[in-house]
């Protein structure tokens, strides 16, 4: 297992929320809690009828338009961040046709969003050269879906201690809690994409009772973030994120027989590239063309990604499957007839030659642009070519 290249460490070792704060610090715009647009019509942050409507097919379609100044790499990055919502939840971000309410995703001054659906076109700011990271985009989209920061939940004092003495009076309002937050009956999640991370000097948020618990999220949506979206939006989805460097997955009940009419996905999202999937057990109902029960594997985070292993059934153990990046999607579908013991598989990541090529091209950029990467709004527009190249590589 290789450690990431120096610049990946710089970036990926930073908690998404902290990075947002750093970028927005240099912006003059007034934001609540660091990145939420204050609402003219709402004196406090609250949400009444601020959720996006569900269609009769169960899908929640959120229309969006993109800033015409985004380049191809930005668009690709934003769409990849959106694709994970679509894979794991019933939220689909769709290009706006004529819908009245929609997201206008723009490269404005910082990384920020409204809380929930506001009505009409509402801006989600994903600034080029600062906010173009999958986790940041997902964080801002999650606000637009109606989610607040995890550490501002009404019950947060049971899970974290706010170290007020280390927070300047000017910043204290950002650590307010929301007495009437909708916690959905789901647990507090230290690893939410909406959670504050450890800070450099003094720790401002300490988990209780064990202060050593990891806080914040470095990659993207957590399993609990997904569960919360699915609960809030009444989605019945069977989806799991696997984000360790290696691990395993299996069909429900394995080695006992799986159930009929299921549809589950596992999104393997590791920090190093080249995920390798190895089946250890495989026993699925055999049908012509595997139209009944099957396992299918994709090279990326969505069902529109390249297929690595097409519909597979029967009892022959498939050969290993290797993804080209740090994302792999495994889909398991069963019909209403026939059952068997299912499958079990393990995955690993890292150990690739290609990696070093990536590192060589990144080092010169690090030297040249070390200040622009973290300095946020103040010099965001300079060096935009550098930024695009960096972002493209990371996304
Ligand atoms: C950390 O402390 C140093 C020295 O006291 C100060 O200059 C710096 O701004 C602080 N950094 C943060 C992120 O608070
Ligand atoms: C989910 O279902 C409940 C109960 O049917 C309903 O009250 C709620 O408005 C639904 N939520 C959304 C976001 O549509
Ligand atoms: C489990 O599946 C196997 C293979 O299809 C079948 O022979 C067996 O009867 C099933 N067992 C149960 C308890 O359903
Ligand atoms: Zn936020």
Over the stretch 87-128, which tens digit does the pLDDT of each residue have? 999 999 999 999 999 999 999 999 999 999 999 999 999 999
Ligand 2 midpoint to CA 178 (Å): 21
pLDDT in tens, 166-223: 888 988 888 888 888 889 999 999 999 999 888 766 688 889 988 888 888 888 999 9
Full DSSP string of 306-365? PEEEEEE-BSSPPPPEE-SSSEEEEEEE--SS----EEEEEEE----SHHHHHHHHHHHH
By most ligand atoms within 8 Å of CB, the mutation choice from 184, 232, 234 for ligand 2 is 234
Q: Closest ligand to 17 CA?
A: 4
pTM: 0.84
> Quick check: 87 and 267 in contact, CB under 8 A?
yes
**Spatial distance between the Cα atoms of 132 and 139, rounded to a whole number of angstroms:** 11
Tokens matching residue 105: 């995703």
- Going by CA atoms, what residue is nearest to atom 3 of ligand 1? 201
For the cut 50, the answer to whether the pLDDT of residue 34 exceeds it is: yes
Axis-axis angle for helices 384-394, 72-88 (nearest 10): 30
> Quick check: 27 and 109 in contact, CB under 8 A?
yes
pLDDT in tens, 348-370: 997 543 343 333 333 333 323 33
By most ligand atoms within 8 Å of CB, the mutation choice from 17, 170, 171, 201 for ligand 1 is 201
Catalytic residue (one of 8, 80, 140, 391): 140
Task: Identify the band that residue 272 occupies on the pLDDT scale cut at 50, 70 and 90.
Answer: confident
Residue with tokens 């100044």: 69
pLDDT at position 45: 59
Instruction: Determine the straight-line distance between the first and last CA of the chain, rounded to whole angstroms.
Output: 21
For the cut 50, the answer to whether the pLDDT of residue 49 exceeds it is: yes
The verdict on whether 84 is a catalytic residue reads no
For the cut 70, the answer to whether the pLDDT of residue 16 exceeds it is: yes
Q: Is the distance from the beta carbon of residue 201 to the nearest atom of ligand 1 less than 6 Å?
A: yes
DSSP 3-state of 237: coil
Ligand 2 midpoint to CA 57 (Å): 14
For the cut 90, the answer to whether the pLDDT of residue 308 exceeds it is: yes
β-strand partners of 95: 64
């Amino acid at each position: 297992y290789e450690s990431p290249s120096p610049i990946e460490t710089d970036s990926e070792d930073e908690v998404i929320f902290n990075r947002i704060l750093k970028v927005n610090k240099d912006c003059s715009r007034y934001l609540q809690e660091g990145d939420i647009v204050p609402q003219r019509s709402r004196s406090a942050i609250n949400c009444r009828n601020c959720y996006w409507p569900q269609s009769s097919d169960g899908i929640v379609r959120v229309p969006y338009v993109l800033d015409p100044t985004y380049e191809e790499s930005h668009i690709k990055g934003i769409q990849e961040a959106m694709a994970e919502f679509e894979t794991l939840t019933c939220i689909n971000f769709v290009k706006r046709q004529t819908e009245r309410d929609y997201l206008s995703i723009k490269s404005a001054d910082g990384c920020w969003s409204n809380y929930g659906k506001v009505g009409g076109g509402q801006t989600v700011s994903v600034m080029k050269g600062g906010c173009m990271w999958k986790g940041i985009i997902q964080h801002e989209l999650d606000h637009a879906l109606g989610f607040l920061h995890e550490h501002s939940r009404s019950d947060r004092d049971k899970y974290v201690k706010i170290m007020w003495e280390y927070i300047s009076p000017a910043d204290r309002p950002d650590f307010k809690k929301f007495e009437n937050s909708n916690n959905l009956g789901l647990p507090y999640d230290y690893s939410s994409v909406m959670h504050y991370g450890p800070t450099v000097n003094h720790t401002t948020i300490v988990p209780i009772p064990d202060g050593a618990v990891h806080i914040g999220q470095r990659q993207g949506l957590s399993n609990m973030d997904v569960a919360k979206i699915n609960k809030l939006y009444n989605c019945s989805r069977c989806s799991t994120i696997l984000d360790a460097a290696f691990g395993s997955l299996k069909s429900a009940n394995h080695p006992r027989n799986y159930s009929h009419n299921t549809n589950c996905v596992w999104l393997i999202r590791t920090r190093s590239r080249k995920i390798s999937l190895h089946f250890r057990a495989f026993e699925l109902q055999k049908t012509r063309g595997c139209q009944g029960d099957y396992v299918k594997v994709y090279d990326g985070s969505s069902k529109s990604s390249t297929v690595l292993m097409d519909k597979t059934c029967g009892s022959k153990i498939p050969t290993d499957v290797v993804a080209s990046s740090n994302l792999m999607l495994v889909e398991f579908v069963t019909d209403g007839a026939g059952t068997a013991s299912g499958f079990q598989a393990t995955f690993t990541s890292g150990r690739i030659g290609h990696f070093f090529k990536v590192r060589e091209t990144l080092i010169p950029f690090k030297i040249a642009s070390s200040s622009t990467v973290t300095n946020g709004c103040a010099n965001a527009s300079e060096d935009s070519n550098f930024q695009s190249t960096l972002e493209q590589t990371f996304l």
